Amino acid sequence: MAMQERTQVGIIGAGPAGLLLARLLKLHGVESVILEARTRDYVEARVRAGVLEQGTVELLEEAGVADRLHRDGLVHDGVEIAAGGRRLRIDFRDLVGKTVTVYGQTEVTRDLIAARLAGDGPIVWEAADVTIHDIDGDRPRLRYRAGDAERELACDFVAGCDGFHGASRPSLPASLVRTFERTYPFGWLGILADVPPCSDELIYASHPRGFALASMRSPTRSRYYIQCSLDEKIEEWPDARIWDELALRLGSEPAPDITTGPSIEKSIAPLRSFVATPMQHGRLFLAGDAAHIVPPTGAKGLNLAASDVHYLCRAFVAHYTRGNDDLLHAYSETALARVWKAERFSWWMTMLLHRLHPEASFEAQMQRAELDYLASSRAAQTVLAENYVGLPF
């Protein structure tokens, strides 16, 4: 017979969404148990993006886990767009009075794990074969295996924060779920290296050879990406070839001073946009990548997970402290309103900056006209800045 446990909110997934939700709930006196399929070492080592909207930073401050972020994070007042041999700076602080902070998702995860293990509640690592039961009733259950033991967690609610391939989304009734997807016909080849960044701010480059991005994780660690075809093999891209290609695509006026060095991580990732609706049914609620994926061009993935958590936490707290379920009933509609705006911005940035059409095509001329308009219009730059720093929760 399965060992039985009880909590208020059962959380599946110890990524940023699940960990942040658990932390905020604990601060409001709501108990939770986190089930994570992987080991702690694996979760803490995952390389992910690292541009945090101002709202996400404020949410981490609210959670009491922002000390290291403020010490080590890099506050950016803008980004640069390189196209047609010139660089255009989008000044966030001047245009909308906000900033973003570069602080790796890996570091956010480590901070949240440390806070959780300092007394907030349990994380069950290597929780295998998680299944979700009775979400239509008032006592949903999570069944899983830990080691050789079969276990069951009874809870009031289930928060599915277990990513695109997790158990949560497939547990929603198939007849109710609609999915919307765009798969892009290219990928990003990324390289991580312990070299100083070539610029104090991110550079997004649109070039006839394809898109490139110059980013960073710290003053001594750089992250670069180049657009590539989906059939490329990482073995075909030795470090020297990547650095040469970056120099070509990032070439602009003024040209960035790229410091080269051996890679510590290389990968090729496909790009997709994906939304599943609704994000809730019964007592199961989805958050983060379990419900939506964005291409990384707009730096929205982690930030969308944070906004989901913002809405979901406040809904749970209203239930437990005031007996009011209005926010729970409205969660999916509220979260999706912001999700779709972020999807739009990520799609727009992706379509604007990547090589998608032959140079002589009408579509390529439209891309060029859009970039020219962006360079000449403060209103257009304000729209980009407003979306990049993050729309209000």
- Exactly one of 103, 144, 311, 388 is catalytic; which is it? 388
Check 103, 144, 204, 224 and give the catalytic one. Answer: 204
Sign of CA dihedral 179, 334, 111, 14: negative
Question: Hey, what's the torsion of the CAs at 39, 43, 47, 51, to 10 degrees?
Answer: 180
DSSP designation for 195: S
208 is catalytic: no
Tokens for 296?
Answer: 């990384």
Q: Which of 245, 217, 248, 247 is nearest to 232 (CA)?
A: 245
Q: Do the Cβ atoms of 246 and 282 come closer than 8 Å?
A: no
Which is catalytic among the residues 76, 310, 319, 354?
A: 76
Is 266 catalytic? The answer is no
DSSP category for residue 116: I
The rounded distance, in Å, linking the Cα atoms of 124 and 111 is: 17
C-alpha 69: how far from chain center: 17
CB-based contacts of 358, cutoff 8 Å, min separation 6: 364
Beta strands in 16-135 (DSSP E): 32-35, 51-52, 74-76, 78-83, 86-91, 100-102, 123-124, 128-133
Residue showing tokens 């080991």: 39
- Our answer to whether residue 329 is catalytic in this structure is no
From 30, 9, 20, 11, select the one nearest 317 (Cα to Cα).
30
Choose, from 184, 296, 319, 354, the residue flagged as catalytic: 296
Q: Using the Cα atoms of residue 384, residue 387, residue 390 and residue 393 in order, give the sign of their dihedral.
A: positive
Is 354 designated active site? Answer: no
Q: Which amino acid is at 227?
A: Q
Among the residues of 250-325, which ranges form H helices? 301-322
Instruction: Compute φ and ψ for 22, nearest 5 degrees.
Output: -60, -40
Containing 191, the helix (H) or strand (E) segment is strand 178-193
Q: What whole-number distance in Å separates Cα of residue 358 and Cα of residue 341?
A: 29
Is residue 26 flagged as an active site residue? no
Contact 302, 56 (CB under 8 A): yes
Catalytic residue among 292, 300, 319, 354: 300
Query: Which residues form the catalytic set?
Result: 76, 204, 296, 300, 388
